[in-house]
Structure 1
Amino acid sequence: MTISTTTHLNFRGNAREALGFYQSVFGGELTAFSYEQANAVQRPEEADQVIWGQVTSEAGFRVMAYDVPASLAWDAGVIPVFVSVRGDDEGEIRGYWEKLIEGGTVVQDLGPAGWSSLYGMVRAGSG
């Protein structure tokens, strides 16, 4: 099996604009789901903001982005990036997950999501 990593950028209200910029530079497909589409609206003014988005190009460029909701503390210099690990073997991904959570803090348990059969978030202990 092969794995890939994807840079995941965090914004406060302008993730769609950033994704559009990357698409304009690298081409490819832009996919974005809003908080409203995910039935996850906490504040009406955030309904159209991006809960999950990405640009993928034929050349291999890939970037993800999302808008951190106002209910969460956010500072552009504190958690500016995630790394997304993807693969097609659930057992192997779960093995990586177990290693990633050692000494880290689980933000979202690993499980199914609307955009992936397995999704989780962990804040690394060393970061």
Structure 2
Amino acid sequence: MAISTTTHLNFRGDARAALEFYRSVFGGDLTAVAYGDLGMPKDLPDADKVVFGQVTADNGFRIMAYDVPGGAPAAAAPTATTRDNGMTLTGERFFVSVRGDSADAVGALWDRLADGAQVVEKYGPSPWTPGFGMLTDRFGVTWILDVAAHAG
């Protein structure tokens, strides 16, 4: 049996904008289905919000997202700090991790994803990989981008 996992992000009205941004960063195809497309009356407040969305790219990138229906409570915003020993501490329950084969290719993704982001750890060489960085994008999602380290 083969399985795969895909990160599914929950937004509060900006899922479509986030998915469009992620497509601009990673490439691929975007699918966004609104609540109204599935029968919700078009005059209701959430009818134009995304009930199912995803970006899928040939390079293996895939992410899903939707807009949480109007009445659901929002989670508290997490924070991140870097300790003196260089370790990053954060209240996030998860990060989205993107790993590539080359520092240049991952660096190009970093440059696009960093537009409007809060940088937690600037992208660059680290003791364990030729490229590593962490940021929280303009939609509040924290990403780790790194380069696969090769043994030897």
TM-score (norm 2): 0.47
Corresponding residue number in structure 1 for 2:124: none
Aligned to 2:9: 9
Structure 1 segments (4+ residues) deviating >3 Å: 40-43, 76-81
The 3 A distance-change label for structure 1 pair 68 and 41 is: farther
Q: Give the CA deviation at 1:38.
A: 1.5
For residue 37 of structure 1, what is the aligned residue in structure 2? 37
Aligned positions of 1:21-36 closer than 5 A? 21-36=21-36
Looking at structure 2, the residues matched to 74 and 52 of structure 1 have their Cα atoms a distance apart, in angstroms, of: 19
Unaligned residue ranges in structure 2 (runs of 5+): 79-91, 95-152
Corresponding residue SS for 2:5: strand
Secondary structure of 1:37 counterpart:
helix
Q: Helix, strand or coil: the match of 1:44?
A: coil
Alignment of 1:79-98 (within 5 A): none
**Structure 1 residues 33-54: Cα deviation after superposition (integer angstroms, max 9, x where no partner):** 0000112459712111000100
For 1:77-116, list aligned pairs within 5 A. 77=77
Per the normalisation by structure 1, the TM-score is 0.56
1:75 CA drift (Å): 1.9
Question: What is the percentage of aligned positions where both structures have the same residue?
Answer: 54
Q: Matched residues in 2 for 1:72 and 1:5: separation?
A: 25
Classify 1:55/1:25 alpha carbon distance in 2 versus 1 (closer, same or farther; 3 Å).
same
| Structure 1 residues 67 and 41, CA gap change in structure 2 (3 angstroms) | farther
Distance in structure 2 (CA, Å) of the matches to 1:3 and 1:11: 26
RMSD: 2.6
2: distance between equivalents of 1:11 and 1:80? Answer: 15
Secondary structure, aligned partner of 1:18? helix
Partner of 1:70 in structure 2?
70
Aligned to 1:50: 50
| Unaligned 5+ runs, structure 1 | 82-127
Q: Which has the higher contact order (CA 8 A, sep 6+)?
A: 1
Q: 1:19 to 1:11 in 2, by over 3 A?
A: same
Q: The residue matched to 2:6 in structure 1 has which SS? A: strand
- 1:68 to 1:42, Cα distance in 2 relative to 1, 3 A: farther
Letter in 2 for 1:2: A
Question: Based on CA coordinates, which of the two structures has the bigger radius of gyration?
Answer: 2
| Distance across 1 between alignment mates of 2:4 and 2:75 | 27
How many residues are aligned here? 81
